[in-house]
């Protein structure tokens, strides 16, 4: 029987081919079955936009690697590499020479160069191409490779563009993206908004949510989760705004209404956007020439190897009072300053005594982080200064210098993982040397304590009353109040004195200057400094004389004699009169509002009473609690058990001593009557494997559900070892939990009067009682929520690992969506680990893909939790793994019903081998070419071999 063929598409995107006779002799001439002269003729005649198709089958699958190798020789460039992407994993990068055996059939290669991409073509797509191409076919018995090249026609190009877009939806790219790429945060919600990875998988580019609703376009270091560059820091966007790399070479963030950020590279010959291994995001032109790069426009961080040159600037995120700090490379120096109305310097590298000087009287023109030091070079790249910030000298470490919101530069070793702490060496050397370690006018001590000067302690917030303006009006009566001696200020070392005089002269200069707020005077040098805005003051260092300081305050009086006093009296009378009138009018208005509100409350009370009668008059309703009852039962909601997709859950005890879990629903979009109807349905459902609804509360705007309390908590605590006892569940307990889940879901899907689709099956929604009996919770809640507010339709889209593909593709949701989620949970129960673990090896990171592979190779022990002691002859182990793999088929039609899952687990039905991993990724294409017939996947254990057809039930809305 002939093996299934694998077809490959070679698309030339830009440029032309150059022919290499040596490559031909070493490659195609040795390729069995290929007419080399015809192949050469075809390739030499190819033009921009041409499409070339290769396919190969049978035992000579190794030859497809030869094709790619030859292609590599034709297109010579540094760093030529191919990504081999097994089904389910899109992140392993290897060199072409490392491909062995039948890699050409098991995975597919994507040649990551701006001129070339190689991807697989489904068989059905190939048949369609053959029809358009005029009859060049595969040949039923042929096992020889065939190469066909032809110039694309408009309809064919359009169809392939559509195919590439569908195929690439929600898929992360590695290394590069090409012009024509676009998408919003919603397209990559399963990848946390990140759509472009560096080849070494250390950095990623994409959307990042800072507050959950607004997004920035960032470059992020993956393992530490630290943002190292931001495109739109000043103007964040919603999740429907798109990032676009258009065909004209311009990259921008925006929509039809406006553009938030752009590289302004239209018409400059951009061939690709690349995220390099050092974290630099670049736009490439011909010969890989860099046309634009993020390293040239840094935000608040510098990375190892990033060149910081004269004119560049870092800007911190805003402080609590919208204050920004800046690091700027000026000619001959690197400086820090604060963004006051008149900027004030507070540090420079030239004055920092901690640096090492290698060259004297040399001009610096660039700086970069190298190993554990910050190096400064002249225009000939000769080292002038060196600032060592760490004793950890690892040349392969990735360092980041970050300008924080407090104005200090900290150094982080990003390879230390999540939230790495900074090095103890910072710039400036101590926190009191930054502009505002304390509120303005407060004095910062060297132990980082803040103290309000005694002269300002009686004033609100320890600030002077500065209501005077420089507007040309009569001078306000001001006075200078003495703050103290032996004080210092961060900017005094970087400004020249306004004048040299005695203390009284300095005071007079400040009085006469309406913009002066603070003066500093040094007795020894008689230097006088005036400032129009001030941050924190600080104590003078030991051995330093310090400065005398005065602060200007408003005394409250006015000049002008009797005329001024009469004017003041008139103003006072006018103010009293206006205030009296306003008070009378306000009282009349409040009385009118009180009468209207009283009538409205009476009407609302009557309506509430009528609705309450409706609640009380319905038979079969669960117990109705008042809000006050539940406050008492939960001790004012003080003991929180967890936070779910529908709201928070609190532990409580009823007056009869029974324990309950009270769920406070959030985002309810229904009135009392609709809520009553849904509660009536949920309360009427009774099953041993479903959490029992004991009561509810519908009082005013409060909507609460009261469930039985489950002593062992949720399943995730036990399979991921998050329980206090660190107890490992044995196989018998795990199997019973899986079977209990299946029975509960089967009851919801097929035995209730109204079919209920759960929509959010995950370990957190499977609860265990004191005997580890599994019960499904949160069923029936999806229909209680507003669609635009419900976490079923928003937050759940970001839950990695449990969503069926139809959620992502916006297809109709059915009970088969629950089956998929059930299968993913079973995989975690069997393996004792999360389905996606970024810290694992590339092969094991995505557990379902790894399980498929191990199943094919007969290595079941590699799938099972290593902590389990399982009898290898127990058929339930194999059955559980097989049924889980059937449940997570991407094609919903191939998934079994939950009733059939129960039969299999109980041994009533025999389960066949699930499809191999190479078939799972074709679900998108197979949906385009699906025939009306479906092949059954299960059979009775008796002689009854009737076909079972899983069917999709399309609902009006998830329940």
- 381 burial level (CB within 10 Å; 0-12, 13-18, 19+): exposed
> Distance between CA atoms of 895 and 529, rounded to whole angstroms?
79
Name the β-bridge partners of 82.
94, 111
> Distance between CA atoms of 686 and 682, rounded to whole angstroms?
9
Tokens of 388: 């060592």
> Distance between CA atoms of 426 and 406, rounded to whole angstroms?
12
> Distance between CA atoms of 737 and 349, rounded to whole angstroms?
64
610 alpha carbon, distance to own chain's centre: 48
Element (H, E) at 899: helix 898-905
Element (H, E) at 665: strand 659-665
| 872 labeled binding residue | no
Radius of gyration of the chain (CA): 36
Which residues are known to be catalytic? 760
- Contacts by 72-77 with C-beta closer than 8 Å and gap 24+? 72/96, 72/111, 73/20, 73/22, 73/23, 73/26, 73/27, 74/17, 74/18, 74/19, 74/20, 74/23, 74/43, 75/17, 75/113, 75/115, 75/116, 77/113, 77/288
- 899 burial level (CB within 10 Å; 0-12, 13-18, 19+): middle
> Distance between CA atoms of 707 and 676, rounded to whole angstroms?
16
DSSP E strands, 490-638? 499-500, 518-522, 527-531, 537-539, 547-554, 623-624
> Distance between CA atoms of 161 and 167, rounded to whole angstroms?
10
Q: Which of 735, 775, 738, 736 is nearest to 758 (CA)?
A: 775
What value, to the nearest 5°, has the Cα angle with vertex 647 and ends 641 and 650? Answer: 30
CB atoms under 10 Å from CB of 320, counted, come to: 8
Element (H, E) at 260: strand 259-262
CB 712 within 8 A of CB 659: no
32 alpha carbon, distance to own chain's centre: 49
Task: Map residue 372 onto helix, strand or coil.
Answer: coil
Q: Which of 37, 77, 31, 86 is nearest to 54 (CA)?
A: 31
> Distance between CA atoms of 831 and 585, rounded to whole angstroms?
73
**Binding-site positions for ATP:** 663
Positions at the binding site: 663
């Amino acid at each position: 029987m002939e093996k299934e063929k694998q077809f490959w598409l070679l698309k030339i995107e830009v440029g032309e081919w150059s022919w290499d006779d040596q490559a031909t002799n070493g490659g195609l001439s040795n390729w069995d079955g290929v007419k080399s002269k015809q192949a050469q003729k075809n390739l030499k005649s190819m033009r921009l936009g041409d499409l070339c198709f290769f396919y190969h089958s049978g035992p000579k699958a190794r030859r497809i690697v030869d094709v790619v190798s030859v292609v590599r020789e034709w297109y010579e460039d540094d760093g030529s590499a191919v990504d081999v992407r097994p089904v389910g994993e899109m992140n392993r990068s290897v060199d072409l020479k490392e491909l062995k055996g039948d890699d050409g059939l098991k995975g597919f290669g994507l040649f990551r160069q701006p001129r070339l991409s190689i991807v697989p073509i489904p068989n059905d797509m190939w048949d369609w191409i053959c029809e358009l191409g005029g009859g060049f076919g595969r040949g039923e018995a042929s096992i020889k490779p065939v190469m066909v090249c032809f110039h694309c026609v408009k309809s064919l190009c359009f169809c392939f563009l559509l195919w590439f877009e569908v195929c690439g939806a929600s898929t992360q790219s590695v290394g590069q993206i090409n012009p024509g790429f676009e998408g919003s945060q919603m397209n990559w919600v399963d990848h946390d908004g990140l759509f472009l990875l560096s080849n070494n998988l250390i950095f990623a580019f994409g959307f990042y949510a800072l507050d959950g609703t607004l997004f920035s376009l960032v470059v992020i270091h993956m393992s530490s989760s630290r943002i190292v560059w931001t495109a739109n820091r000043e103007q964040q966007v919603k999740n429907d705004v798109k990032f676009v790399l258009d065909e004209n070479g311009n990259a921008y963030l925006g929509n039809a209404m406006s553009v938030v950020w752009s590289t302004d590279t239209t018409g400059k010959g951009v061939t690709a956007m690349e995220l390099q291994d050092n974290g630099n995001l670049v736009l490439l032109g011909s010969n890989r020439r860099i046309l634009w790069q993020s390293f040239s426009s840094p935000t608040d961080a510098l990375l190892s190897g990033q060149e910081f040159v004269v004119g560049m600037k870092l800007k911190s995120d805003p402080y609590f009072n919208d204050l920004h700090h800046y690091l700027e490379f000026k000619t001959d120096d690197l400086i820090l300053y604060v963004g006051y109305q008149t900027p004030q310097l507070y540090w420079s590298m030239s004055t920092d005594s901690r640096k090492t000087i290698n060259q004297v009287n040399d001009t610096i023109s660039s700086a970069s982080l190298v190993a554990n030091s910050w190096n400064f070079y002249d225009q000939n790249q000769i080292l002038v200064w060196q600032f060592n910030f760490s004793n950890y000298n690892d040349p392969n470490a990735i360092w980041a210098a970050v300008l924080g919101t407090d104005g200090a530069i900290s150094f982080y070793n990003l390879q230390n993982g999540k939230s790495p702490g900074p090095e103890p060496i910072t710039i400036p050397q101590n926190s009191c040397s930054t502009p505002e370690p304390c509120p303005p006018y407060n004095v910062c001590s060297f132990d980082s304590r803040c103290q309000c000067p005694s002269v300002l302690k009686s004033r609100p917030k320890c600030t002077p009353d500065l209501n005077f303006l420089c507007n040309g009006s009569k001078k306000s009566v001001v006075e200078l109040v003495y703050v103290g001696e032996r004080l210092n200020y961060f900017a005094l070392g970087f400004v020249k004195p306004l004048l040299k005089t005695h203390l009284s002269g300095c005071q007079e200069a400040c009085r006469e200057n309406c913009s002066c707020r603070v003066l500093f005077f040094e007795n020894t040098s008689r230097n006088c400094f005036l400032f129009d805005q001030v941050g924190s003051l600080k104590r003078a260092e030991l051995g330093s004389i310090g400065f005398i300081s005065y602060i200007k305050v408003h005394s409250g009086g006015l000049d002008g004699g009797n005329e001024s006093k009469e004017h003041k009296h008139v103003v006072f009378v006018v103010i009293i009169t206006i205030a009296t009138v306003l008070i009378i009018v306000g009282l009349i208005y409040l009385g009118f509002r009180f009468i209207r509100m009283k009538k409205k409350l009476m009407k609302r009370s009557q309506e509430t009473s009528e609705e309450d009668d409706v609640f009380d008059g319905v038979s079969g309703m669960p117990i109705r609690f008042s809000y006050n009852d539940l406050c008492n039962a939960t001790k004012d909601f003080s003991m929180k058990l967890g936070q779910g997709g529908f709201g928070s859950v609190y532990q409580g005890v009823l007056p009869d001593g029974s324990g309950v879990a009270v769920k406070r629903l959030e985002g309810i979009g229904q009135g009392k009557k609709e809520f009553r109807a849904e509660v009536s349905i949920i309360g009427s459902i009774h099953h041993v494997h479903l959490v029992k609804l004991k009561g509810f509360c519908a009082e005013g705007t409060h909507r609460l559900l009261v469930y039985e309390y489950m002593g062992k908590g949720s399943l995730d605590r036990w399979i991921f070892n998050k329980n206090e006892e660190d107890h490992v569940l044995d196989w018998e307990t795990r199997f019973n939990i899986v079977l209990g889940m299946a029975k509960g879901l089967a009851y919801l899907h097929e035995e209730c009067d109204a079919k209920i689709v759960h929509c959010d099956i995950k370990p957190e929604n499977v609860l265990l009682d004191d005997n580890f009996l599994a019960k499904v919770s949160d069923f029936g809640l999806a229909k209680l929520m507003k669609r635009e507010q419900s976490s079923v339709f928003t937050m759940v889209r970001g839950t990695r690992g449990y969503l069926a593909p139809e959620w992502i593709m916006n297809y109709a949701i059915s009970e088969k969506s629950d089956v998929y989620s059930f299968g993913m949970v079973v995989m975690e129960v069997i393996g004792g680990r999360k389905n996606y673990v970024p810290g694992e090896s590339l092969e094991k990171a995505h557990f379902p893909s790894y399980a498929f592979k191990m199943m094919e190779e007969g290595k079941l022990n590699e799938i099972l939790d290593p902590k389990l002691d399982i009898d290898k002859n127990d058929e339930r182990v194999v059955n559980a793994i097989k049924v889980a793999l059937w449940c997570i088929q991407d094609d919903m039609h191939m998934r079994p019903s939950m009733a059939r899952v129960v039969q299999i687990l109980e041994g009533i039905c025999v389960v066949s081998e699930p499809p191999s991993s190479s078939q799972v990724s074709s679900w998108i294409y197979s949906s385009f070419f699906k025939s009306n017939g479906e092949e059954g996947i299960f059979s009775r254990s008796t002689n009854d071999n009737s076909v079972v057809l899983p069917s999709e039930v399309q609902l009006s809305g998830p329940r």
